[in-house]
Amino acid sequence: MKKHAGEYKPTINIRQSPHLIGPALFFVAAWLSICAVGLSLWLRPSQLLENALTTNFTIVTVHMLTLGFLTMTMFGVLYQWLPVVFDVVSASPSFMIAHFLVYGVGLLLFLLGFSAHHAMLLPFGALLMALSIVIFTIFALNRIMSSTRPWDELTWTVCIALFSINLTWIFGLAMVLGLSGLTSYLHLLPEHLNAAWVGWIIMLVLAVQIKLLPMFSLAKMHTLRPWLPIVLALTGWILQFARRWIPTLALPITLIWTLTALVVLWQIYSLSKHHQSPKWDTVFIGVALGWLLWLMAAIELLYDPSLTIALLVLGATTFVFTYQSRIVPFLLSLVMVRQIRHKEFSAFFMAQRFNSHLLPIINASLAFVISALIVWGMMQQIREPIAIAGIVIVFWPLIHVALMGYQIIVQRGFFLSRHRA
Ligand code: HEM
C-alpha cells in the first residue's frame, strides 16, 4: 500500500468531500426507485410492448427510472465529485437535505399526477422538481466559477450537462402544462429526449469517466484524446435539435453517435491494456458493456427508436451499478478514516481493500441478462422475458448492497486491527 502511495498521484482533493448524508440520501432513494421500476415491469410487462409505449403507465415507469434512479444517482455523485475535482467547499448537509426533500416531493407528486390523471398535481410536482434543479445548478456553477482549476474539457462537459438538465425540465414542463390543459400542447418530446439523454446523462458519464477510468487503471488518460468523444457527442446533440427542420440529418447523427461509442470503447481498451494497478480492475467489464449497449442504441436509432430508449436506459443503469461498486466503498472508507482521525488520503488505499473483485463481474452479468431479456421481449413483442427481467431488477440493488456490505464488514476488522496495532 505504501509503495503505491508514492507512485500514484490523484488529481483530486478528497479533503473537500461532503458529509456522507447528501450522497447517501440520493443513492438510497435511487435504489428504492429502481426496485419500484422492477416491480412495475414484473407486474405489468406489457407496458414495454409496442401499443403501450406512450401510455401514462409507461411514462411513469420511465420517469421512476430516469428521474428517480438515474438523476438521483447523478445528484449524489455530483455532490461528492464536484468539490473534490474542482477543489472547492462542499455543500452543507442542510443544503443537500433540503434539495433532496424538494426534489423527492416534486417527483412523487409528478408520478402521482401522471398515474392518477390529476391535472394539478402533475404541474405542481414538475415545478417543484424544476425549482430543486435550478437551485442545484446555481450551487454547482457557483462552485465551478470559484475554482482555481483551469477550464478544460471536463469543466465544459459538466457545464453542458447542467445546462441540459435545465433544458430537460423546461421542455418537460411545457409538455406537462399542455397535458394538464393549462396551455395548448407542444410536441417537444424529441427535444426533451435529446436534452435528457445526450445532454444530461451521456455528457455526465463522459465527464465522470475522464477522472474515474484513470483511477481504476492507475494509468493516464490525457494521451487518449478525452475531448474526442465529447466533441462528437456534442456535434450529434446539436444536429439532433436541427433535425426538426432537416429530417435528412438522421443518418449523419447515427453515424456520429456510433463513432462516439467506438472511440470510447477504444479508450477503455487502451486504458485497461496499459494499466499500472497491481490487479486488472473488473470494473472495466461493466464500463465496456455499458458503452456496447449505447453503441447498439445509436445504431437502433435508424430502425427502432423505442429500442434506442430501452438500450440507453440499460446502458446508463449498467454504469450506475458498475461505478457504484467502487464509489460507495470509497465513501465509506472516507467516513472511517475521518472517524479515526487518520489522514484522508489513506481512504484511497483503504477503499482498495473494500473493493470487491467479484461485484463488478456480478453487476455486469446481471446487466447483460436483464438487457438480453428486455431486448428479446421488445423485439419479439412477448411479455415473459420482460417480466423475468423485472424480477431480476427488483433484487439487483439488494444483491449490490449486500455484497458491498459483506466485503466492507470483513475488511473493516482487518483495517481496525492494523490501526490499533
Ligand atoms: C423535471 C423533469 C422532467 C419532466 C417535467 C418531464 C416530463 C415529461 C413528459 C410530460 C413526457 C410525456 C410527453 C408526451 O408523451 O407527450 C415525458 C416523456 C419522456 N421523458 Fe421526461 N420529463 C422530465 C425529465 C426526464 C429525464 C431526466 C429523462 C431522461 C433521462 C426523461 C425521459 C423521458 C422519456 C424517455 C420520455 C418518453 C416516455 C414514453 O414515451 O413512454 N424525462 N417527460
Residue 7: band (very low, low, confident or very high) from pLDDT cuts 50, 70, 90: very low
Residue of the CA atom closest to atom 11 of ligand 1: 172
Q: What's the confidence (pLDDT) of residue 406? A: 87
Nearest alpha carbon to residue 225 among 263, 262, 258: 263
Q: Where are the domains of the chain?
A: 154-217+220-274
Neighbouring residues of 153: CB distance < 8 A, sequence distance ≥ 6: 210, 226, 227, 230
Site to probe by mutation for ligand 1, drawn from 33, 46, 59 as the one with most ligand atoms within 8 Å of Cβ, is 59
Distance in Å, CA 284 to ligand 1 centroid = 30
Q: Is the CB of residue 25 less than 8 Å from the CB of residue 32? A: no
pLDDT in tens, 40-71: 999 999 999 988 888 889 999 999 999 999 99
Neighbouring residues of 166: CB distance < 8 A, sequence distance ≥ 6: 133, 134, 137
Show the cell assigned to 301: 436509432
Show the cell assigned to 73: 444517482
The overall average pLDDT reported for the chain is 91
Q: Quote the pTM value.
A: 0.93
∠28-69-80 over CA atoms, to 5°?
60
Question: d(Cα 121, Cα 111) in Å, to the nearest integer?
Answer: 9
Closest ligand 1 atom, CA of 67?
A: 27
- The binding-site residues of ligand 1, defined as CB within 6 angstroms of any ligand atom, are 53-54, 58-59, 62-63, 66-67, 70-71, 126, 129-130, 168-169, 172-173, 175-176, 179, 189, 192-193, 196-197, 200-201, 309
Question: d(Cα 407, Cα 412) in Å, to the nearest integer?
Answer: 8
pLDDT in tens, 70-84: 999 999 999 999 999
Mean pLDDT of 11-26: 89
Q: What's the confidence (pLDDT) of residue 10? A: 56
- Calculate what percentage of the chain has a pLDDT beyond 70: 94
Residue 4: band (very low, low, confident or very high) from pLDDT cuts 50, 70, 90: very low
Q: What does each C-alpha distance from 124 to 57, 75, 107, 127, 182 come to in angstroms?
A: 19, 21, 10, 5, 12
Show the cell assigned to 287: 464500463
| Owner of C-alpha cell 449497449 | 293
Show the cell assigned to 135: 437551485
Show the cell assigned to 354: 473494500
Residue 205 φ/ψ, nearest 5 degrees: -60, -40
Q: Is the CB of residue 198 less than 8 Å from the CB of residue 229? A: no
pLDDT in tens, 202-243: 999 999 999 888 887 777 777 788 899 999 999 999 999 999
Distance in Å, CA 172 to ligand 1 centroid = 6
Environment class of residue 390 by beta-carbon count within 10 Å: exposed (0-12), middle (13-18) or buried (19+)? buried
Give Cα 292 to chain centroid, integer Å: 16
